[in-house]
Amino acid sequence: MSTIDAILPPATLGMLGGGQLGRFFVHAAHEMGYQVWVLDPDANSPAGRAADRHILAEYEDFAALDLMAETCAAVTTEFENVPAGTLDYLAKFIPVRPGAAAVSVCQNRIVEKTFLADNGLPHGAFRALRSVDDLNDLPDDLFPAILKVARFGYDGKGQVTVHDAAQALHAFNEFGGEACVLEKRLSLDCEVSVVLAREASGSVTVFPVAENRHRHGILDVSITPARVDDALAVQARQLAEHIATQLGYVGTLAVEFFISGGALYVNEMAPRPHNSGHATIDANVTDQYMQQVRALCGLPLGLPRAHSAAVMVNLLGDLWYRTGDERAHEPDWSVLHAVPNLRLHLYGKHHARAGRKMGHFTVVDTDVEAALVAALAARTAIGITDD
């Protein structure tokens, strides 16, 4: 789409999915002059509550999809498990970015790993497991490994560490015989991610590399710029851009990497904005959600340059239950607001539960180490422990 054909305000944009990533998209689109309709089956979805209209329906409700197609100028998504058929159906009527073909690669870990192998991208050893027979003759050097369900696993869910073929078989049966991938467990130096945006024309802008720490399988702290060798950072950005090109991707994309023995390995892709890209809201000229709006609407991508170093800390629902009481209690946000270079973002979710992402905060500074010290102090002050 040329700029002259771009979708301009006050057009209505469609969002499939009502979580916090969709909520930030709604905020970005509103700031840029657009209206947004959100389709999500949860009456209390954060994005739905922020949108101009919330269509309360399932993703395969064709009456709801027809309504979006009639009203919205273009549609995007905020999570990868929207059925590919839904994206294909809407694409018959209006632009859908990213498209079903690209999203479907990221929806299934077997397809995703096969894509990496077929395109010569660096990845850890793996086996696709579709039946018990696929567990025969597994090489010993594949273990220890992580068994992951091929679909719908996230934030550490649907995966388990196994140390031999017998444990892999037991775990496979525990997952109900669902298709899985068995991935060799790498000895990690650290984990990093790259968020980028790609236009329909093929133009790409890439954000600085983020360094990520996880706790119980969920992203805990994200540090930008990553404190890794410059050559590795350049390689990670180049690999992410190559992946976007090979996918024919349009929109905001995240690629997660392992660094093991000083080498990069692609872990997985997310066809949407990413948790580790939250810091771009506070530390970059253009954030990942504005880029998502721009790519969707055929506008030139914004400048992704960081004006500050940033450290993002996730706030999980566990914080609401620190007293041991079964009832949720609001954390003492005053301890965060007392930090002058910290911005708190709460997602407006209906109720807190353990492991649920309820918000995050970002500390910015001219120096990444200073930002990290302040962020970790604030993390401790609000009650996050390393247990």
DSSP state of 151: S
* Strands (DSSP E) found in the chain: 12-16, 35-39, 53-55, 74-77, 126-129, 145-149, 159-162, 180-184, 190-198, 204-206, 210-215, 218-224, 251-260, 263-270, 309-316, 342-346, 357-365
3-class SS at 297? Answer: helix
Residue with tokens 């919205």: 72
User: Annotated binding residue at 18?
Assistant: no
User: Annotated binding residue at 383?
Assistant: no
41: left (phi over 0), alpha (psi -120 to 50) or beta: alpha
Strand-strand pairing, 145-149 and 35-39:
unpaired
User: Annotated binding residue at 246?
Assistant: no
User: Annotated binding residue at 148?
Assistant: yes
User: Annotated binding residue at 70?
Assistant: no
User: Annotated binding residue at 155?
Assistant: yes
Spell out the domain ranges in the chain: 3-96, 125-184, 190-382
Looking at residue 238, what is its pLDDT?
Answer: 98
**Which residues, other chains included, contact 113 with Cβ-Cβ below 8 Å and sequence gap of 6+?**
123, 126, 128, 181, 183
The CATH number assigned to the domain with range 3-96 reads: 3.40.50.20
Task: Decide if 333 contacts 327 (C-beta within 8 A).
Answer: no
Residue with tokens 């196994």: 162
Looking at residue 3, what is its pLDDT?
Answer: 56
User: Annotated binding residue at 191?
Assistant: yes
User: Annotated binding residue at 133?
Assistant: no
User: Annotated binding residue at 268?
Assistant: yes
Q: Which architecture, in CATH terms, is 125-184? A: 2-Layer Sandwich (3.30)
Long-range contacts of 340-344 (CB under 8 A, 24+ apart): 341/365, 341/371, 341/374, 342/374, 342/375, 342/378, 343/281, 343/282
Looking at residue 386, what is its pLDDT?
Answer: 87
User: Annotated binding residue at 49?
Assistant: no
| Token output for 268 | 């997985």
DSSP state of 350: S
User: Annotated binding residue at 92?
Assistant: no
Task: Decide if 314 contacts 358 (C-beta within 8 A).
Answer: no
The CATH number assigned to the domain with range 190-382 reads: 3.30.470.20
User: Annotated binding residue at 351?
Assistant: no
Q: Could you report the per-residue pLDDT of 337-371, keeping only the tens digit for each? A: 999 999 999 999 989 998 999 999 999 999 999 99
User: Annotated binding residue at 153?
Assistant: yes
Question: Per residue of the chain (387 residues), what is the pLDDT tens digit?
Answer: 445 689 999 999 999 999 999 999 999 999 999 999 999 999 999 999 999 999 999 999 999 999 999 999 999 999 888 999 999 999 999 999 999 999 999 999 999 999 999 999 999 999 999 999 999 889 999 999 999 999 876 655 688 999 999 999 999 999 999 999 999 999 999 999 999 999 999 999 999 999 999 998 899 999 999 999 999 999 999 999 999 999 999 999 999 999 999 999 999 999 999 999 999 999 999 999 999 999 999 999 999 999 999 999 999 999 999 766 778 889 999 999 999 999 999 999 989 998 999 999 999 999 999 999 999 999 999 999 887
Looking at residue 190, what is its pLDDT?
Answer: 96
User: Annotated binding residue at 183?
Assistant: yes
User: Annotated binding residue at 19?
Assistant: no
